[in-house]
Amino acid sequence: MTARREPISRRERPAKPALSRRWIVDTAVRIMRAEGLGKVTMRRLAQELDTGPASLYVYVANTAELHAAVLDSLLGEVDLTGRDGGEGWREQLRAVMTSYTGVLFEHPQLARAALVARPSGENYLRLVERILDLLSQSGAGREQVAWGVDKLLQSATATAAEQSTREHDPAFEDDWDATVRALHAVDAATHPAITAHMPALVGGSVSDRLRWSFDVLVNGIVHTPVPVVED
């Protein structure tokens, strides 16, 4: 019998894989799905990877960059086809933006991270490419389209950062409540405009507001020329 050296002793764990950026980010995504972005810390991640936090700095510059990488990974879930929207560029674009918003709504804290550290991974680039392509079918000028993509993404991201925070985190629920209460409690004499606009100011469903925001931006973008650049 030939002696086959079975590496049995190295088998207690699923064979601790070599560290790599890919493996680090995938693990971070797994932690986020299971316990939220708040748990995706350098220390916790290192623990999960069976190493010390210092080791991660070979592959990731800092926590913000790590979160940006997690976001990019999540963006792989966005439906870029706009298939649900039907035929026109506008409806397809709406469907893509709705899908993007949906992904962020499911991972509230990620939206906040996106506003701070912009992603630059492949999924983000694919998303930008697709939105540019659809928006340019509006016939608007090149610069309007370029700047417009930014506003569309910013608006959706900011809404997700605000709105969905409220739903998941009881601490932030309070802040929104406080704002609503403050708006209701306002003195009609000193704040006539708030009083006059009051039900609407805090009303409306999330989806109505999202749809309206989208229309506002698209209408604005295609009708507002960029300022002439001076040399």
Partner DNA sequence: ACCTGAACACCGTTCAAGT
Within 159-188, which residues bind DNA (CB under 7 A)? 171
- Residue 30 binds DNA (CB under 7 A): no
The DSSP letter of residue 7 is -
Q: DSSP string spanning 202-213?
A: H-S-HHHHHHHH
Shortest CA distance to 157 belongs to which of 104, 94, 197?
104
Site for its own copies in 8-67 (CB under 8 A): 61-62, 64-65
Minimum distance, C-beta of residue 132 to its own copies, in the bound complex (Å): 4
Question: Is 177 in contact with 184 (CB distance < 8 Å)?
Answer: no
Task: Please choose, from the candidates 202, 164, 163, the residue with its C-alpha nearest in 3D space to the C-alpha of residue 182.
Answer: 202
Restricting to residues 41-80, which ones interact with DNA according to CB under 7 A?
41-44, 51-55, 57-59, 62-64
Q: What residues between 155 and 194 interact with its own copies by CB under 8 A? A: 155, 157-159, 161-162, 165, 171-172, 174-176, 178-179, 181-183, 186, 190-194
C-alpha 114/C-alpha 75 separation (Å) is 11
Q: Within 13 A of 228's CA, how many CA atoms are on the CB side?
A: 2
Contact partners, residue 10, CB within 8 Å, separation at least 6: none
By CB under 8 A, residue 206 contacts its own copies: no
Q: How far is the CB of 61 from DNA (least distance, A)?
A: 8
Supply 202's token pair: 């805090």
| 200 makes contact with its own copies (CB under 8 A) | yes
Q: Which is nearer to its own copies, 50 or 150 (CB)?
A: 150
Per CB under 8 A, the list member of 23, 33, 118, 139 interacting with its own copies is 118
Residues that bind DNA (CB under 7 A): 18-19, 39, 41-44, 51-55, 57-59, 62-64, 171
